[in-house]
Each structure stands twice: as structure tokens, then as C-alpha cells.
A and B are shown apart, each in its own frame.
Chain A
Amino acid sequence: AQKVTQAQTEISVVEKEDVTLDCVYETRDTTYYLFWYKQPPSGELVFLIRRNSFDEQNEISGRYSWNFQKSTSSFNFTITASQVVDSAVYFCALSEAGAGANNLFFGTGTRLTVIP
């Protein structure tokens, strides 16, 4: 069975601090895809990144970076020099290649508050 766990329910940081959001997943598929989405107060889910299970290379995009480690089934997300605009709920999600619907399985989300 597939599962995504985001153990951190809420995190508060002061502006300019770095913060890491944890994501641990479970799947029996050897081919799968991991995603991060941002949900600002407006409510719309905004796509941030997608990784496939064969590519463990870490990725950096501006202040955002992602650390994918298959050995620990983790796909963590780090925001460097956080800003107030980063305040949102962040969701990690999993899609399995073997599943018919290819729907996303989401974690429960981490609410990040950046204090000015």
C-alpha cells in the first residue's frame, strides 16, 4: 500500500531562516514519482517539483532545494532564507506507475509560517 507521511504538522520560522520540510513515503512499486505542491491561503495547489524514482540527484531552484534519498524513502524540501511569501501549507505527494489511475497520494501537509 502507498502512503506519504509528513510528520511536521506546523513549523514557524523567522524570516531569513532556513527550513526543511520532511516527507517519507511508502510504495511497493519500483517506478514512482514524487511531487511537492504549495497551497497558499488562497487555496489553490501550486506545483513545485516532480522527481522520478530513478533519479536521486538533488535539485535546486532558487531558494528551494530537494533531497531525494531512496535508502530512507525520503523526499525532503528545504527553503533557504525564508520569506513571508513562503507561508503556506506544503504537500508531498506520490504517484505510482503501476496504478491504473495515476492519481496522487498526498501527505497531510506541513503548515509553514514565516514570521517577519
Chain B
Amino acid sequence: GAGVSQTPSNKVTEKGKYVELRCDPISGHTALYWYRQSLGQGPEFLIYFQGTGAADDSGLPNDRFFAVRPEGSVSTLKIQRTERGDSAVYLCASSSSGVAWETQYFGPGTRLLVL
């Protein structure tokens, strides 16, 4: 079956602009995660959805970041007033039900560059 897909694969924007990053999880997976990976670092947790609701958004760095998952499948990560420090690879992962022992399957990521 299809894995996690993310679009766009690359996004270049200017400082101060708004961007949206999309994640399409594995079909039937109720849990969806967003991570951010800076150069030379491991992925860092941003937000976790269980179904349509954001069960934990403690990893979002500030209120410029927001994510939605209105129908419990596709999710969109939204970044307002982008800053150069937002440049990173944004990874999406999904798992069957979100329990700790489940494997999270990752998408290919969106590489965001803020000029």
C-alpha cells in the first residue's frame, strides 16, 4: 500500500511569507506526527494528532506554527511570517493508533528554505 506522502517536496519562500505543508498519512492510521529536522540533527517533535484533534502541540516552537487535520486523514502544517530559522526539513509520520510501541512510518519530508 501507499506510504506517507508529503507535498511539496521542496519549498522556497521569502522571509515573512506564509507557507503550508501537506501530509497524507498511511490509510487507516489515526495517529499523525509532525517533526522538524534541522541540518545535522535528529528530528524534533512538533505536534501529534489523534484523529482530528491535536492531542499534543507542545513541540510547536511559537504561535507562528499551526497544524490542522480536519477530517482525520490529511494534515496541513501552517507557518506564518516565516523566518530564516524556520528553514529545515519538515517530516510527517503516521502510526496505526498512536500508542508508544507502534512503529511510526515517515514520509519523505518537505525541505523548506526561507530566504
Q: Does B43 sit at the interface, judged by CB under 8 A? A: yes
Q: Do A91 and B103 contact each other (CB < 8 Å), given the known contacts A101-B58, A102-B48?
A: no
* Closest chain B residue to A106, Cβ basis: B42
Cβ of B102: which chain A residues have Cβ within 8 Å of it? 102
Give how many A-B residue pairs fall within 8 Å (CB-CB): 74
Interface residues in B21-62 (C-beta closer than 8 Å to A): 31, 33, 35, 40-45, 48, 55-56, 58-59
Residues of B within 8 A of A (CB): 31, 33, 35, 40-45, 48, 55-56, 58-59, 89, 91, 93, 98-109, 111
A-B contact pairs, 23 of them (CB 8 A): A4-B42, A31-B100, A33-B101, A35-B103, A44-B109, A45-B91, A45-B106, A47-B103, A93-B42, A95-B100, A96-B100, A101-B48, A101-B55, A102-B31, A102-B48, A102-B100, A103-B33, A103-B35, A103-B56, A105-B45, A106-B42, A108-B41, A109-B41
